[in-house]
Amino acid sequence: MKILKSIILALLIMSVGCDVDYFEDPNEPSTPPSSGVFNKAVQELVQDTRDVWFSGRFTLATMQMWQQSNYGDEDRYGYRESMRETWEDLYWNLENLRLVIELNEDEATAVQMSAYGTNEGQIATARIMMAWAFNLMADTWGDIPYWSYGDRDNAQFQALKLTSEEEILQPAYATQAAIYADIMSELAAAAAQITAAGEGFSEGDVIYGGDAAKWAKFANSLRLRIAVKLGNATEAADAIADGVFTSNADNAMFTFEGSDKNASPMYRSWNVDARSDFAISHQMVALLKGDNIQDTLGADITTNPFAGVADPRLMEYAEPNADGEYVGMPIAMTSAEATTITWESLPNRDNIIDKPDYASVLMEYAEVCFLESEVNGWSQTEYEDGITASMEKWGVAASDINSYIGTVPAADMENVLTQKYIALYMDGHTAWAEYRRTGYPATLLKPDVAGFPDGRPYAVFEPTSATYKYFIFIPIPAEITNELPTRMEYPDFESTLNTNNYLDAVGRLSDGNSLTSKLIWDTN
């Protein structure tokens, strides 16, 4: 009965935006192929976290990689409820990943599922993707309902039981400490499991095509990310020893299809929905040009560790404006003001917004290099390897890479972490976690700078008038005074649908269900 419930739920989910009909009889659902369930779950996970809402208006805007050119509220932390409701979408997709596991464990379906790859390999692959998603959710909200394959009987882990025999409709929120510890355990076990299986999915795996060795590297690399975030040196060393990414060929990427229907979310926004809501930020352009942001008197507001050094990634990240210049979008004071700016540079067309088959990165080799540099005391070798990997991924010429590396200052904490931020372009969520953990980069605008409670006026050169225009960064939420948000608020419906568990979780947060509560690893 349990697996029948799961199949019915999965078919309902997969029927949305999916051309495959898994019903032989309208009154009796057949068993869906695990490869199709997995493929759809991963596609939706990437779409939900890399779309114009959760990514464009939330993480990319918050980390000042992009800014909005039509609506400015989210740039100033006025997040809409739709951003928080990604929570619900993520749990639907996690339910499908759990179904992949059930289909490969249940005696009634396991043999049939083996046509799509080894049972153990499929289970391990689903575990790794669940770990990736749960880590993202914990990094966003803090305590959340959680489920574990390896510790499924843990009374604290009650999520994903909508279709189980227990049918827990109001799951407890597991603590962050328990979640992160279990995710690292899951990743280590899943890496060993898929290595022993020798194969993942034989079809339906867009990320690695069933390559067991690459999935194991992804698991170990993700474990390294979490271990460094938690300051767990032993776990970090073990992850590296077990085998992490060693080149860009290992990057975990989901490549979208070339058709309009299944193209990347950013392509669909610009080319199908005919919208143009985003531009590369003034702060990112200044960082890549080697400039500091200045106030009305010409004094520096931000500190660019690469001052005077032009980064060749600028032309890969952004599109020149109508005058052939790279000019970033400032944080506007109002949405109306944002629409008056017409000289901003868009994100790069060929690499991002006009590329239907854009490859969205879940984790990449450059990040691993910078993590290894940190583990090794800010080592120079891994620092240079990370810069090289990032530039090669974006198509920068070898001569330009060598010239840049020969010009930038040597590795130290600020330089490594600022280069990591640059390399994480388009992965605003990971950059947000890194900023909260470390306080870098120091090139982001904050609402309270040098004693200006409403934000220090900063200058942006307006090319159309050849004069400077001045902006003030005033956040919308009253609780934000001098920093970026440190978490996202829980969605409103949790307070009514899961009241007691919601209140327990809110009570464990340092500042309640607010944008200013800090997660357990946010100690800077």
Q: For the residues of 58-110, what is the DSSP string, one character each?
A: IIHHHTTSEEESS--TGGGT---HHHHTHHHHHHHHHHHHHHHHHHHHSTTTH
Domains of the chain: 2-260+358-443+485-508 (1.25.40.390)
Question: What local confidence, expressed as pLDDT, does residue 21 receive?
Answer: 35
Q: Is the pLDDT at 27 greater than 60, yes or no?
A: no
| 398-405 vs 380-393: helix crossing angle, rounded to 10 | 150
Measured CA distances, 189 to 49, 86, 158, 185, 239 (Å): 26, 28, 20, 6, 12
Query: Rounded to the nearest 5 degrees, what angle is found at the Cα of 324, between the Cα atoms of 395 and 401?
Result: 25
- Kindly indicate the confidence band of residue 3, based on its pLDDT and cuts at 50, 70 and 90: low
- Of 236-250, 331-345, 370-384, 450-464, least confident by mean pLDDT is 450-464
Element containing residue 25 per DSSP (H, E): strand 23-25
Q: How confident is the model at residue 453 (pLDDT cuts 50, 70, 90)?
A: low
Distances (CA, A) of 123 to 95, 187, 215, 363: 14, 12, 12, 20
Query: Does 81 have pLDDT greater than 90?
Result: no
Question: How much is the pTM?
Answer: 0.94
Q: Is the pLDDT of residue 16 over 50?
A: no
Q: What is the pLDDT of residues 162-194, one digit of tens each?
A: 766 678 999 999 999 999 999 999 999 999 999
Least-confidence region, from 84-93, 109-118, 276-285, 460-469: 460-469
Q: Token pair for residue 75?
A: 């740039």
Beta strand ranges found along 184-257 (DSSP E): 252-255
Q: Is the pLDDT of residue 263 over 80?
A: yes
Q: Residues 94-101: what's their mean pLDDT?
A: 97
Per-residue pLDDT for 10 more than 90?
no
User: 270 versus 5: which is more confidently predicted?
Assistant: 270
Q: From CA 194, how far away is CA 208, in angstroms rounded?
A: 13
For residue 126, count CB atoms less than 10 angstroms from its CB and return exposed for 0-12, middle for 13-18, buried for 19 or more.
buried
Helix (H, G, I), strand (E, B) or coil at 359: strand
- Reply yes or no on whether the pLDDT at 278 is more than 70: yes
Query: Using H for helix, E for strand and C for coil, what is the string for 425-473?
Result: CCCHHHHHHHHHHHCCCCCCCCCCECCECCCCCEEEEECCCCEEEEECC
Query: Is residue 489's pLDDT more than 60?
Result: yes
Range in 13-17, 66-70, 110-114, 210-214 with the lowest mean pLDDT: 13-17
Q: What pLDDT, on a 0 to 100 scale, did the predictor assign at position 295?
A: 85
Rg (Cα) of the chain, in Å, rounded? 23
- For the cut 80, the answer to whether the pLDDT of residue 20 exceeds it is no
**Predicted pLDDT of residue 91:** 97
pLDDT for res 448:
66
The reported pLDDT for the residue numbered 18 is 40
Average pLDDT, the chain: 92
